[in-house]
Chains A and B, each alone.
Chain A
Amino acid sequence: MRRLQADHLILKIAQDLGLDGYRVVVERRSLDALYRLAAAQFPGRFHHRRFDSTGGRLMAGDYFAHHRLYELITYTDPCRAFIWEGCHPGEELLLVAHVIAHSDFFKHNFCFREVPPPPVELFSRHNEEIQAYVDEYGYRKVREYIDAELALQNLCHGGMPPEPNLDLLGLLIDHNPRLNAWQKRVLEIIREESLYLRPQKETRILNEGWAVFWQKRILPECGLTEAETIAAVKLHARLTMPLGGRLNPYLVGCRLLEHIAGELGMEKLFSIRAGENDYSLVRKFLTEELLQELDLFVYKEQAAQLIGPREDPAMVKKVLLSHLENGGYPVIRIEDTDFAGEGKLYLKHVYNGLELDHQTAVDTLGHIARIWGRPVLLETVLEGKNCLLQDNISL
């Protein structure tokens, strides 16, 4: 009862502060279930062995590196938030405030508006469909097909204006006569689900920063007891702590938004929530001073080089921006679907200063070739030189 009241109270405070999101359904889950959910990204989504390995990795991170997952929110209507059941009551209130801010962000940000939230049961419906194919065509056949498709799930484009040149999954669905009906349907399912994930990838810093920014403001209004306050503040500090060398999106996002709120006022902040993503936020608002304060730097392992924020701030910002481009994934453009008149697929990696991982690139080309049925070529840059890769199965 106390919990229910507290959730309502937080919602009320959030609304008073100007937040207005989708309805949030908060559920308490065990850590085990939380990691399984985090790996599959959506509750009720079909099962795949890759999700198992991701979940295992997350759990190992918890066990060995103390990176505990406390909450998870899914972009659905209503939003479903999952909170670790072992939390201290104070921590729980903080997390409820956090997810309410997330849902507000979901409702207003332009990246999410392009893809309206799916109904909650969409994923279990997809799961049932895939199960039906498994029953009909055999588990192994379907699973191996999904193996290939999950490797391509980031190669789609659903925003406006539509760009067919970037939408490889769309091309494979529409212009591939070699596919069966069920294979096309599975491709469609994967494409649809990954389109819902896409905006979250593109707004990680802004989204997390927004949630941390508001949880900090909602919590003092709740009238917590001393013990609850201490637990909540501890968790807040843990979220925004600089990690051991990696960029912490909670910290960077929150600091950027604090800076904007201080300099330009709250109205500007709300307009940023609606109209920016990570790339544009960092490009417009990450000043040199902030770069130094956040102690961001860049390094290249192969050359054993490290450039700090004081030495070359422009370089640091440039690399950060190229990592935020396209949700952190390389941009792959379709150049020709009938290359050399032999039905080969010719792709081009739009080089932004960051090179592809050679091995995974070749493997992924193999996955594409399996679905496309003909050789696939990729033009890219490796170790500073232009080169053309071919998939490893049609050679």
Chain B
Amino acid sequence: MSSRRITGPGFRYSLVHSWQVGQNMELFRRHFRFAKVEGGPGGAAGSAGLWPSGADEEELRWQPEEFSLPEVLPAGIRRKTGRKNSNLRYQGLGKVGTCSQLDKKAMVLHRKRRLRLAGQQQGGYTEHDLRFRLWYEEPKYPERLVLLALLDVSGSMEEDAKQIARLFYWHLLSLTERIFWQVEPVFIIHHTEAVEVSRGRFFTKSSGGGTKFSPVYRLAWEIINARYLQDPSPVALFHLSDGYNIAHDQKESQSWLMKLCQVCRLVCYGEVGGRQQNLKTYGDSFQEWSHPALMHFQIEDQTQVSSALNALLPQILAHMERD
């Protein structure tokens, strides 16, 4: 009886090679992913495949590797790929450290000086002669991010556009949560009036009515002033809309946006859904003025959400780096 290994409970059916019974297909699809097999599950399985067809399939297949995220990998691999999540700073020499950081030259010099001060001609090394190079690993990004998510739910936003916006925010939140220790989202929806809502309501609410930007910018500005002015963590503001703001509101909303640019690290304005011909949108006005903290982008349909995020993320992260 040499083997000390405890195996499982005797003969049992293979979980991989034999058929299994499940219940509640919807939940199963959401939580379970088959391991990769030759040929791939999508094509081979056909109608019995796990993933629904069309744009959703694309969305579900997203892997964080596709995005230009900072690497969270072991040091060796990180060095090879050259991307890193923190900066190293040289802090001088210390008496305690790892062998790899032992500074031999400093050690020799220290022994010499010690002997000279003691008036001795010769003597061996002691542990007091050891000198190590000290490095401080400084995280590139702050620990906490305040993310203001503004969403236009007015009648002019079509259901498709709303869906794009929700998808965008959903992935934006999950991606930023990978980089920052803590992401504090503030959800605001608006038509002609703005209101702060919960996460659940934000992702489900569908409203109607006209579109006016100044109230929502004003509310965001008030929230930042009330809650995050004393807070050292950076504030990022995102606003997704179809861009058809009421004409007489252009000036006022622009001045509010200017104010927001001064209190936020990043203000990102996005237009979603297809554009109607011959109609000017709010985004067109950014040709006339700009601000280093201001970015704008456009997403036309659901398949572009991933590529838009991919293009945006490095820029967003560049804004968020520590000073």
Contacts and interface: CB of A to CB of B under 8 A. Distances in A.
B24 interface: yes
Interface residues on B, range: 35 or more
A323 B22 CA distance: 11
A49 B4 CA distance: 12
Nearest to A393: B3
Nearest to B2: A393
Contacts of B98: none
Contact of A355 (B13, B21, B45): B13
Per DSSP, chain B at the interface is loop
Contacts of B21: 247, 296-298, 316, 319-320, 323
B1 interface: yes
A47 to B, nearest CB: 14
Contact of B15 (A148, A153, A242, A301): A301
Contacts of B18: 300, 353-355
Nearest to B50: A306
B15 A151 contact: no
A165 interface: no
Interface string B5-36: 11111111111111111111111101110110
B117 interface: no
A305 interface: yes
Most central of A141, A153, A357 by chain B CB within 10 Å: A357
B10 A154 contact: yes
Contact of A357 (B15, B27, B41): B15
Interface in A359-383: 359-361, 363-364, 366-367, 370, 382-383
B23 A330 contact: no
Interface residues of A, number: 65
Contacts of B34: 301, 304
A245 B28 contact: yes
Interface in A228-261: 242-248, 251-252
A375 to B, nearest CB: 16
B53 to A, nearest CB: 14
B37 A363 contact: no
B37 A297 contact: no
A155 B19 contact: no
Contacts of A319: 19-21
Contacts of B9: 150-151, 153-154
Contact of B23 (A49, A148, A243, A355): A243
B61 to A, nearest CB: 14
Interface of B: 1, 3-28, 30-32, 34-35, 37, 41, 44-45, 48-50
Given A246-B23, A366-B3, 20 more contacts: A53-B6, A151-B9, A152-B10, A243-B27, A244-B24, A245-B24, A251-B23, A296-B22, A297-B28, A301-B34, A304-B34, A306-B25, A319-B21, A349-B11, A354-B14, A355-B17, A356-B11, A356-B12, A356-B14, A383-B17
16 contacts: A147-B6, A155-B10, A242-B24, A245-B32, A294-B23, A296-B23, A299-B19, A302-B16, A306-B45, A330-B12, A354-B18, A355-B17, A355-B18, A357-B14, A361-B11, A370-B1
Interface of A: 49-50, 53, 141, 144-145, 147-148, 150-155, 242-248, 251-252, 294-308, 311, 316, 319-320, 322-323, 329-330, 332, 349, 353-361, 363-364, 366-367, 370, 382-383, 393
9 closest cross-chain pairs (CB), A and B: A245-B28, A304-B41, A363-B7, A242-B24, A354-B18, A357-B14, A304-B34, A151-B10, A319-B19
